[in-house]
Amino acid sequence: MTEESGDEAARHRDKMAKRKAVQDAEVAAKTIEKGLLIVHTGPGKGKTTAALGLMLRALGRGWRVACVQFIKGGWDTGERRAVEVFGPQASWHTLGEGFTWETQDKARDIAACRHAWKRAEALMADPGIRLIVLDELNIALRYDYLDLEAVVATLRARRPDLHVVVTGRNAKPALIEAADLVTEMGSVKHHFAAGVKAQEGIEF
C-alpha cells in the first residue's frame, strides 16, 4: 500500500465512522411502533405488486394476512395461487365484479363495493390478522361507491398493531391525510403503449 492510498483509506474510515454516528443517532431517535396505514397510488405499474410484496414479507414473519379486492373479478392470478400455498395464514377475498366498463351496471358495482367493504371491516376486527391489503379501494372511493368519511374514519380507528395497505390510482386527499406512508408510482414507460399485452407472471 502506498502512503497516499493509506491516507485515503484512513480518511474514508474517518468519514464512515462519522456517518455511522449520525445514522445510529437517527435510528435511536425513532422509537414509535405502530400499525401503518399505507397508500400506493399514481399512474405507474406497481401499486398492487408492492402491496403483494408487503404481504409476502408479513407471511415470512409468520403473520396472518388478508387481501380484499374491490374492483377485480375472480380471475385466476399468480398471486392468488401463491397465497393458497400458505393455507389459513392468508385469506383472499375477491369481491369485485370486474372493471366498471365491463360490468356496465352501476348499482351492481356499488353493491359489490359495499359488500367488499363489509368484509374488510370484519377482517380488520379480527385480532389475529396483522396486515390487510385493500386492493383498488381507491377506485371505489373515486367513483363515490363508498362513503369516504366513513371509510377514512374506520381506517383511522384501526387496531394500533394492524397494518393496512390501500391501492389504486387517484387516492383521495382525505385518505392521504390519514395515511402514514404514501407512495406514488410514476409511469416512465409501460409496455402496453408498445402493443405488448398483459404478461402472465408479470401482470397476473
Q: Binding residue for ligand ATP (CB under 6 A) from 169, 176, 178, 184?
A: 169
**Contact between 109 and 144 (Cβ < 8 Å):** no
- Contact between 69 and Mg ion (CB under 5 A)? no
Closest to 110 (Cα-Cα) out of 95, 94, 125, 91: 95
Q: Binding residue for Mg ion (CB under 5 A) from 39, 40, 48, 70?
A: 48
Q: Binding residue for ligand ATP (CB under 6 A) from 35, 36, 44, 114?
A: 44
Name 162's Cβ contacts closer than 8 Å, sequence gap at least 6.
35, 124, 129, 130, 131, 132
Q: Report what 73 binds from ligand ATP, Mg ion, none; CB cut-off 5-8 Å by kind.
A: none
Specify the 3-state DSSP secondary structure of 161.
coil
Closest to 118 (Cα-Cα) out of 87, 103, 140: 140
- Contact between 35 and ligand ATP (CB under 6 A)? no
By CB under 6 A, the count of residues binding ligand ATP is: 15
**Contact between 174 and 147 (Cβ < 8 Å):** no
Site string for ligand ATP, 185-204 (x = CB under 6 A): x-x--x-x-----x----x-
Per-residue CA distances from 148 to 137, 138, 141, 167, 199 (Å): 10, 10, 6, 15, 34
Closest to Mg ion by CB, 50 vs 178, is 50
Closest to Mg ion by CB, 123 vs 133, is 133
Give the footprint of ligand ATP on this chain (CB under 6 A). 43-49, 167, 169, 185, 187, 190, 192, 198, 203
Interaction site with Mg ion (CB under 5 A)? 47-48
